[in-house]
C-alpha cells in the first residue's frame, strides 16, 4: 500500500541518518566492513513548546535543528567510519584529537557562513552596481534589479554544488544521498526493503534538502522584491540591505518548509511544477549508489521506522 511518510534522511561520511517522528537512527559503514547502528537524541523543542508548531515558525525551528543534528551526525559518522584517522595529523591523546576535530569543524562552519554572506548577499548587490557603472546607466526597475541579483545568487549556488560534486569524498556522500532517497521511495510504496527493490527506485525525491534550498532561493526572490519595493531606502544602502537580507532568512525558511511539506504530501501538476527546479538539481546532488550503500540506508530506515504505521498517501 502506498503511503505518505515524514521520514527524512541525511547522507553522511560513509553513512546515513534517518529520522522519523519517533526515532533518529545513524547507520555507518565501519572500517572492518560491518554496519554500526546507533541512535541520537532527535527530540525537537517543538514537542515541549506547542506554539513552535505553528506554520512557518515550525519551519524555522526544523531548519535550525536539522543543522545542529546534522553537524553532530556528520562528526559521528566521520569518527566511526575511520575518516578522521589520519596518523600524520592525529594527536596522540584522544581528548586532544576530539578537541582538534571540533575546532576545525567550528572554524570551517564560521568561514562557511561568512563566505555564504559574501557570495549570496553582498556579491549580487555589488554585481548590479558594477553593471550600472560599466554601462553608465542606473537600473530604475526594482523588479529587474531583484531579478538580476537573484539569478546571480542561483547561478552561484548551482555552480558551487556542481564544483564540489567532482570531489571524491563528496561524490561518495552524494551516492549515499541517492541510496537514502531510493530507500524512502521503496518504503513509501510499501515494498519490502531489500537491496533489489530499493535499487529499482528513483533517486530524486520532492522532500529533499536540495529542493528546500532551491525553494528558499525562489521564495527569497519574491520576499526580497517586495521588501525592496516597500523600503527602497534600505536597498540603496548596501550594508543595510545585507543585514535586511539576513533578517528575512528565518521567514524565508519557514515558507520554504511549508511548501516542501505540501510537495512531499501531494502529487499533482502544481506540486510537480514547484518541485521541478529542486528535482533537477538533485541530478547533481544525488548519484547512483552501490549496493553496500543501499544496505546502510535500509539499516538506518528500519532502525527508525515508527511503531505506528504511516497513513495512506492522499
For the stretch 82-105, pLDDT in tens is: 776 644 444 455 555 555 555 655
Query: Residue 166 has which C-alpha cell?
Result: 567532482
| C-alpha separations of 7 from 3, 24, 56, 171, 240 in Å | 11, 10, 20, 24, 39
Binning pLDDT at 50, 70 and 90, where does residue 231 land? confident
Stronger pLDDT, 86 or 296, i.e. the higher one: 296
Provide the pLDDT for residue 106: 58
Say yes or no to pLDDT of 184 above 80. yes
Binning pLDDT at 50, 70 and 90, where does residue 2 land? low
16-34 tens-digit pLDDT? 999 887 888 999 999 998 9
Say yes or no to pLDDT of 249 above 90. no
**67-87 average pLDDT score:** 77
Say yes or no to pLDDT of 155 above 70. yes
97-145 tens-digit pLDDT? 555 555 655 565 555 656 666 666 667 777 777 887 788 777 777 677 7
What is the rounded CA–CA span in Å between residue 214 and residue 260? Answer: 10
**8-12 average pLDDT score:** 88
Asked if residues 10 and 196 have their Cβ atoms less than 8 Å apart, the reply is no
Average pLDDT, the chain: 79
Quote the distance between the C-alpha of residue 178 and its chain's center.
Answer: 14
What percent of the chain lies above the pLDDT cut of 90? 18
Provide the pLDDT for residue 87: 40
Stronger pLDDT, 272 or 187, i.e. the higher one: 187
Binning pLDDT at 50, 70 and 90, where does residue 291 land? very high
What is the rounded CA–CA span in Å between residue 80 and residue 34? Answer: 11
Which of 32-41, 55-64, 170-179 has the largest mean confidence? 170-179
Say yes or no to pLDDT of 300 above 90. yes
Amino acid at each position: 500500500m502506498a503511503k505518505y511518510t515524514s521520514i527524512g534522511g541525511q547522507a553522511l561520511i560513509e553513512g546515513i541518518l534517518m529520522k522519523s517522528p519517533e526515532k533518529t537512527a545513524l547507520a555507518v559503514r565501519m572500517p572492518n566492513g560491518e554496519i554500526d547502528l546507533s541512535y541520537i537524541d532527535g527530540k525537537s523543542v517543538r514537542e515541549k513548546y506547542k506554539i513552535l508548531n505553528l506554520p512557518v515558525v515550525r519551519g524555522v525551528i526544523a531548519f535550525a535543528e536539522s543543522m545542529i543534528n546534522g553537524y553532530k551526525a556528520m562528526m559521528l559518522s566521520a569518527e566511526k567510519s575511520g575518516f578522521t584517522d589520519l596518523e600524520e595529523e592525529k594527536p596522540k591523546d584522544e581528548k586532544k584529537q576530539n578537541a582538534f576535530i571540533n575546532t576545525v569543524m567550528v572554524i570551517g562552519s564560521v568561514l562557511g557562513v561568512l563566505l555564504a554572506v559574501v557570495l549570496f548577499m553582498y556579491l549580487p548587490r555589488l554585481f548590479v552596481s558594477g553593471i550600472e557603472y560599466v554601462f553608465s546607466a542606473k537600473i530604475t526597475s526594482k523588479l529587474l534589479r531583484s531579478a538580476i541579483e537573484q539569478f546571480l545568487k542561483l547561478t552561484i549556488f548551482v555552480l558551487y554544488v556542481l564544483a564540489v560534486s567532482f570531489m571524491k569524498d563528496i561524490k561518495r556522500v552524494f551516492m549515499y544521498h541517492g541510496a537514502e532517497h531510493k530507500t524512502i521511495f521503496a518504503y513509501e510504496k510499501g515494498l519490502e526493503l531489500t537491496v533489489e527493490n530499493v535499487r529499482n527506485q528513483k533517486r530524486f525525491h520532492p522532500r529533499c534538502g536540495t529542493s528546500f534550498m532551491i525553494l528558499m532561493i525562489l521564495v527569497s526572490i519574491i520576499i526580497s522584491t517586495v521588501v525592496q519595493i516597500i523600503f527602497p531606502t534600505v536597498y540603496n544602502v548596501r550594508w543595510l540591505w545585507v543585514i535586511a537580507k539576513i533578517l528575512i532568512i528565518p521567514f524565508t525558511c519557514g515558507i520554504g518548509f511549508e511548501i516542501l511539506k505540501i510537495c512531499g504530501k501531494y502529487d499533482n501538476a502544481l506540486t510537480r511544477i514547484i518541485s521541478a527546479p529542486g528535482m533537477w538539481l538533485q541530478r547533481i546532488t544525488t548519484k547512483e549508489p552501490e549496493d553496500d550503500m543501499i544496505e546502510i540506508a535500509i539499516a538506518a530506515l528500519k532502525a527508525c521506522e515508527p511503531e505506528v504505521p504511516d497513513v495512506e498517501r492522499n
